[in-house]
Structures are given as C-alpha cells and as structure tokens.
Structure 1
Amino acid sequence: MDEQTQQKLKNYVLWLLGRQEYSKKELAQKLRMKDASEDYIEQLLSWCESLGYIDEKRYCESFLRRQTNKGLGQKRVLAEATNKGVDRAQLMTLIEEQEIDWFELALETYQRKYGLGDKQLDYKEKAKRVRYMMYRGFGYEEINFAMQATIGD
C-alpha cells in the first residue's frame, strides 16, 4: 500500500471520528470497505487509540445514551451493542452505574407511540402494542407496567 493511500485512509478515519464516536470494530469494517490491508488497519487503529481518538469507554457511554434516547429497552441495547462491537461487560457496568430505569423508559416509549391510555383495548390491538414494545427491547414486566400505568392515568 503506497504512502498516498495510507494518508487518505488516515484522513478518512480522522474525518469519521470528527463526526461521531466509533468502536474499533466499526472503523475496521469501514476501512475494509476502502480495501485497506489488515496490517494497516491494525496499525492505524492503534495509532488512533494511542492519541485518544478512539476510547471504548467513551464510545460505550455515547452508544448507551443514543440508544436510550431512541427509547430502546435493555434487550435491544445489548443486542445492538454486540453488532457494533461494544464490550458487553463494560456496557453492563455502565448500565448499572447510570441506574437506568427501564420501566420508566418503557412508559415514555409507550406514551410517545400511543399517547395516554385507551381504557378498552381489544386482544388484537393489545397484542400489536406488546409486539411493538418487545421489538423495542423491553421485557414483558416493563411492557405490562407501561400499559397499566397509561390506562391508570
């Protein structure tokens, strides 16, 4: 790989990191799409990490904040974290530190989608709403809490 190509790839990585946080796995995938060699990818990512441009803890915090702001539950957050290359143990530690109230988040997500409660829901509509909330990554207890709290208002 010639020096000009290496400089272009380095500039590309810096441009990406200037826009948002990325995990090492995501950056490696983007560099592979640009036909970078595995050796150079490793070298470039190590260089970025040594300068503090890549920080897995900072990325993990950013990722968790983005996902919870989208109204996603813990199951979905953990599933997407695996796809993004986030360290699961580090993410679980961060979730415990931030003391995220998944029940409250489920309630907010439910109310954002469906508004304040309909007293009478037929079986089909209730099943549809439960599926939506499960897709968002909430457990049945959290969904039940959100539905009951909304009906109770």
Structure 2
Amino acid sequence: MEEQAKQKLKNYVLWLLSRQEYSRRDLTFKLQKKEASPEYIESLLDWCESLNYIDETRYCEGFIRRHLAKNHGYARIKSEAGAKGIDKTLLAFQIEEMEIDWFQLARTAYIKKFSNITDTPDYKQKAKIVRYLMYRGFNYEQIEFAYTHNQS
C-alpha cells in the first residue's frame, strides 16, 4: 500500500473521530469498505488507541447515554449493544456504574407517550402501554410501576 493511500486513510479516520465516537469494530468496517489492508487497519487503529482517540469504555458510555436520552430500557440497550459489538461485561459494568433508575425511566417514557391518559388505563389502553414499553426495553415490573405511578 502506497504512502499517499495510507495518509488518506489516516486522515479519513481522524476526520471520522473528530465528528463522533466510534468503536474499533465500526472503524474496522469503515476502513474495510475503503479496501485497506487488514495489517494497516490494525496498525492504524492501534495508533489511534495509543493516542486515546479510540476508547471502548468512552464509546460504551456514550452509547448508553444516547439510549437513556431516548428512554430505552435495559433489554433494548443490551440488544442494540450486542448488534454494535459492545462487550457484554463492559456494558454491564458501565450500566452498574451509572446507577440508573429503570423504574423512573419507564415512568418518564410512559408520561412522554401517554400523558393524555389521566385515569387508570382500561384493558385496551393497558395492552398498548405494555407493548410500547416492552418494545422500549422495560420489564413488566417497571411497566406496571410506570402506569400505576403516573401522577406526579
């Protein structure tokens, strides 16, 4: 691989990292699309890690925060983290460190979507609420808490 092509790939990676956090896996896929050699990809990403441009812990933390901002529950975060290739133990550790109140998060998601329901929901409304919050990654106890504690 010639030096000019290597420099272009290096600039490309730096440009990507200047815009947002990426995992090593994501950058590997992007560089493979640019037809970089596996040896060069490895050395370039090692160089980025040595300068702390890539940090899996920081990436994981940002990933969790983005999903919390969307009011996603643990199951949804875990599922999407797996799809992104985030290490399960790192994910579990970061979530534990953040001390997230999943019940309150479920309540927030419920209020945001179903603020128009003022009474105790009927069977049809309850089914809709359960489906919605299950899809967002909450378990049944958290969902039940959300719609039984909907008054501020």
CA separation of 1:53 and 1:104: change in aligned 2, threshold 3 A: same
Note the C-alpha offset of 1:120. Answer: 4.8
Partner residue in 2 for 1:115: 115
Which aligned segments of 4 or more residues in structure 1 are displaced greater than 4 angstroms? none
Segments of structure 1 that go 5 or more residues without pairing to the other structure are none
Partner residue in 1 for 2:35: 35
CA RMSD of superposed structures (Å): 1.5
**TM-score normalized by the length of structure 1:** 0.92
8 Å Cα contact 1:10-1:44 kept in structure 2: yes
8 Å Cα contact 1:73-1:138 kept in structure 2: yes
Counterpart-to-counterpart distance in 2, 1:144 and 1:51: 47
Note the C-alpha offset of 1:57. Answer: 1.1
Partner residue in 2 for 1:49: 49
Percentage identity across paired residues of the two chains: 57
CA separation of 1:120 and 1:58: change in aligned 2, threshold 3 A: closer
**TM-score normalized by the length of structure 2:** 0.92
8 Å Cα contact 1:25-1:85 kept in structure 2: yes
Counterpart-to-counterpart distance in 1, 2:57 and 2:6: 27
Whether 1:5 and 2:5 are equivalent positions in the alignment is yes
Partner residue in 2 for 1:147: 147
Report the residue type matching 1:143 in the other structure: I
Segments of structure 2 that go 5 or more residues without pairing to the other structure are none
Number of equivalences = 152
